[in-house]
Amino acid sequence: MKTTRQNVCILILGLLGLGLASCELDVPKESAGDKYYPERPREQFNAYNMKTQQYYTLEAVHLAETGRCAVFGETGAGLSLEAAERIAKRFEERIFPDITGFFGQGQTYTIGPENKLTLLLLDIRDDYRPNQNAAYTAGYFSANDMPGFGESSRSNQRIMLYLDVAPGSPESEGFYATIAHELQHCLNFAISVDNRIQWKDKERMIPLVENGRITGCQEEWLDEGLSSAAEYLYARDHQWTKVKYFNAVHTHYIENQDFYPSSRISQGNTFYVWSHDDFVYDEYVTAYLFFQWLRIHASNGAKIYRDIIHSDKTGYEAVTGAAAKYIDPRFSSWETLLETWHLANYVNAPKGFYGYKGELEIKTAAIKNTSIPLAAGEGVFSNLVDSTFTAPGGAASIRYTGINAAGEAVGLQSGGPYQKGDRLLTFNVSQNNAAALTETGKLTGRGDLPASEAGRSALPGGLSGPFPIDRRIPYTE
């Protein structure tokens, strides 16, 4: 069957893209689980090593199948037939219809007998190290696997998701949320194929690529934000680990008067400049909160995500367009929207835009720095206590906003006076997130203090991990 743009639907797990690599062949290993399916058919798959950025070949066993998916387990993974059947059933009956039905907006994305989705369960090779690097690759999707798309020699020529089994835990709610997360990536890519991608050769489905990126795909922060929304839609509840992590990082700063070493959230790190470094979990956490704020305040609720995913815009304009339409016309300005969300994380008002309407309670720390470099989208708080602050010039993208706990703005342009409890928000409103370019913002030098020395802790609850992440590796022709 010839694959065209019209019948393409990809399940993308967002951890992988495609890179140049050599191939290594794994020798199949036996395990306690293998004795349960010695007669099952086995196939070879290309997979990607996140640490070495090289492809390798593995053997996997065909364990279960439904009308929408086929489940394979890496040889030696020890996955039982019964577990595989339950995973296939959950995908068939809940994950696939919920996520495709919600994001599809009346469009039908068919994975039929010729193109059903493959779920490959494997131990994804990454840099996860317990007690050192708490983030692990929970799964990924590769556009190169899609039948007929591009010209990759490493393609498995099927629509598929890769799902981690160690430390990932098959059949856990987190595991199923990962499938939902990656299914959104798939649908987002399929929508891009139909509406946004620019083509080098349209008939042969070879995309135009610039700097390793397929032109016309939504920016990574936007795609990941929608996938965090998919987790919420699947679970029908919050991803509380992310909420607790955000609060715990700020609590750590207050109680220890120092930044938590594995996070830069209290130093302003957010989702807008998506960096695959040691602090990438910060991006997932802040993207989740931002996209929850959008849903909570939108007049159409979670349907605002549908508007964003189907936008012909690939960056922040997709969000400001939806926010202006369904929340408030003022949010056609990215600066206003960004400022409001940052302030919401401090004020926590039960009504209005400076909070989450009581659905989430978020904690932020005022830090004691006098200045700090901030990338696009980043923002930090410091305290304004009986002092005068004059907003400095010189940094084109840095803005300053005063706020108090009641959510009342403070007139910074007048230079004060300020009252005890007032806070200064220093943030970067640049729309250019192509690289981690920073500008220096000024702070007051006054931070939050611990309630008591006895209250200090080295590791507040919510910081222990392991934490699931994914990655979009550049596509290569």
DSSP 452: -
Q: Is the pLDDT of residue 14 over 70?
A: no
Token readout for 364 is: 């932020």
Handedness of CA 69, 72, 73, 79 (dihedral sign): positive
Sketch the domain layout of the chain as residue ranges.
5-217, 240-364+366-447
Average pLDDT, the chain: 85
What tokens were used for 343?
């302030």
- CA dist., res. 180 & res. 183, Å (int): 5
Helix, strand, coil % over all residues of the chain, rounded to 5: 30, 20, 50
Is residue 38 scored above 80 in pLDDT? Answer: no
The whole-angstrom separation of Cα 416 and Cα 270 is 29
With cut-offs at 50, 70 and 90, classify the pLDDT of residue 1: very low
Q: How confident is the model at residue 6 (pLDDT cuts 50, 70, 90)?
A: very low
User: Do residues 217 and 189 lie in contact, with contact meaning Cβ atoms separated by under 8 Å?
Assistant: yes
Q: What is the pLDDT of residues 324-374, one digit of tens each?
A: 999 999 999 999 999 999 999 999 999 999 999 999 999 999 999 999 999
Strand partners, 426: 380, 400
CA–CA separation, 274 and 283 (whole Å)? 6
Give the bridge partners for 45, in sequence order: 58
Q: pLDDT confidence of 411, banded at 50, 70, 90?
A: low
Burial (CB count within 10 angstroms: exposed 0-12, middle 13-18, buried 19+), residue 28 = middle
Residue 31: which pLDDT band, with cuts at 50, 70 and 90?
very low
pLDDT of 179 = 97
DSSP conformation letters of 56-69: EEEEEEEEEE-SSE
Q: How far apart are CA 53 and CA 212, in angstroms?
A: 14
The pTM is what?
Answer: 0.89
The rounded distance, in Å, linking the Cα atoms of 308 and 323 is 9
